[in-house]
Amino acid sequence: MKLYSTNDKTNIVNLEKATLRSLPDDNGLYLPLSIPELEKDFINNLSNYSFPEIAFEISRKIIGTEIPTNILEQICFNAINFPAPLLQLSNNIYTHELFHGPSLAFKDFGARFMAELMSYFVKEKEQKLTILVATSGDTGGAVAAGFHNIPNIEVIILYPSGKVSPIQEKQLTTWGDNIHAIEWVGTFDDCQAVVKKTFLDKGLISEFNLSSANSINIARLIPQTFYYFEAIKHLDVNKAITISVPSGNLGNITAASLARHMGLPITNLIAAHNSNSAVFEYYNNRSYLPKNSISTMSNAMDVGNPSNFPRYLELYESDYETLIRNTEAFIISDNKTKESLLELYEQFNYISEPHAAVAYAALKKSKTFHIGQQVFLGTAHPAKFQELVQSILPVKIESPQPLSSLENHIQNKIRLASYDAFKKWMLSR
């Protein structure tokens, strides 16, 4: 598999380097040099394949021969070992539940696949790897679960102080062993800036083999295509299909765009945003201006400068007309998010959470809402936002075992507020 940098198309590497290094030296993002189109026979017969088999077929096509076939199959079956059910709420509305993995968030798919892939590469190279990850909520928990106690890999998670839910913080800070949590005094964008700066810091690069588990890493993006195929195997590919994606750092909708390039018949893709409006404003005036992030009730999407934006544009040939012809973007306020949570409960007897509610509200605004099949992604279990959801809906949400088991765990974290302090901490280890 060959990949190029979005900043320099002559900067070409293989999957191993793109995975273990995460970012090109020119600070671009890696994309496949060529995106294979899957056979129509495969697309039309997705229902004949199990979820792990779908993952393997996609991986085999896009990764090629860089990883032995038997190893790649094992990676897929080890990583994709939990379901992603598509639930029908009405005649034409569906929700795709992506939160049935170990951390109860959609990011389990990418984190587990990446952990398997990195473990293979590190074992082959006989080297140690330090993974940096910035999280606005769910990424860190999924990465911690995926990488915990994997030999020769340590993980450093940066999360914004006071801007993740209590249970999300527990999922970040109670692992120990090879998982380190840093409570950052600032926003998610500040955490993300630290990660990017570290990858350009020659002093740290010389001391550590650094990689990232954010969706800037192509090894996170590839497995996030899998569940779009899994959803569509339950739908009629001869009818229009609209998918609304809760969007913060844009990794999830970029993965959907990659799946579409591989031949998946998605008629319309919706980037559903909360009040963080940088991408939405680009759709409206062609001008992209990063902003300071705004805190909302859908905290995992509180991103003012989505790092995947260049990659997202590149998949639409950096052409504004192509982008707006194939996708839509909407802003959903907290008040509208609450209304959508209530509507999902009252109309469909469905208990959701804020991020999915944003996607549902955006779906209803779409130009294709009354055409064909409508899907919105459910990216996290409602129990991860228990207090918030229970303050809106007349329900009591029981915590599933992966969350209830954290109740008495002791948090282990350090609190930092500057890059210099972070660098000093890194080097002291």
79-83, 138-142, 303-307: least confident range: 138-142
What pTM was computed for the model?
Answer: 0.90
Look up tokens 């939990």; give the residue: 82
Residue 407 pLDDT more than 80? no
Cβ 300 vs Cβ 380: under 8 Å: yes
pLDDT, tens digit (0-9, with 9 covering 90-100), for 146-191: 899 988 899 999 999 998 888 889 988 998 899 999 999 999 889 9
Pairwise pLDDT comparison (165 vs 296), residue with the higher score: 296
Residue 281: the pLDDT is 96
Q: Please report, to the nearest 10 degrees, the dihedral formed by the alpha carbons of residues 204, 207, 211, 212 taken in order.
A: -40
Residue 39 pLDDT more than 90? yes
Tally of structural domains, the chain: 1
* DSSP 8-state assignment for residue 380: B
356 in a domain, yes or no?
yes
Residue 408 pLDDT more than 80? no
Which is nearest to 320 in space by CA: 271, 377, 282?
Answer: 282
Q: Torsion-angle region of residue 106: left (phi > 0), alpha (psi -120 to 50) or beta?
A: alpha
As a whole number, the mean pLDDT across the chain is 93
d(CA 341, CA 345): 6
Residue 350 pLDDT more than 80? yes
The DSSP bridge pattern shows strands 210-212 and 129-134 to be: parallel
d(CA 52, CA 73): 9
Residue 391: the pLDDT is 97
Residue 274: the pLDDT is 97
pLDDT, tens digit (0-9, with 9 covering 90-100), for 265-292: 999 999 999 999 999 999 999 999 998 8
Tell me the residue range of the domain where 258 lies. Answer: 223-302+319-401
d(CA 224, CA 350): 25
- Of all helices (H) and strands (E), which one includes residue 300? none
Residue 136 pLDDT more than 90? no
13-17, 163-167, 370-374: least confident range: 163-167
16 in a domain, yes or no?
no
pLDDT, tens digit (0-9, with 9 covering 90-100), for 50-99: 999 999 999 999 999 999 999 999 999 999 999 999 999 999 999 999 99
87 in a domain, yes or no?
no
274 in a domain, yes or no?
yes
113 in a domain, yes or no?
no
Looking up residue 229, the CATH number of its domain turns out to be 3.40.50.1100
Mean pLDDT to the nearest integer, 398-424: 89
Say how many CA atoms lie within 13 Å of 54 toward its Cβ.
28
36 in a domain, yes or no?
no
Which is nearest to 375 in space by CA: 264, 279, 292?
Answer: 264
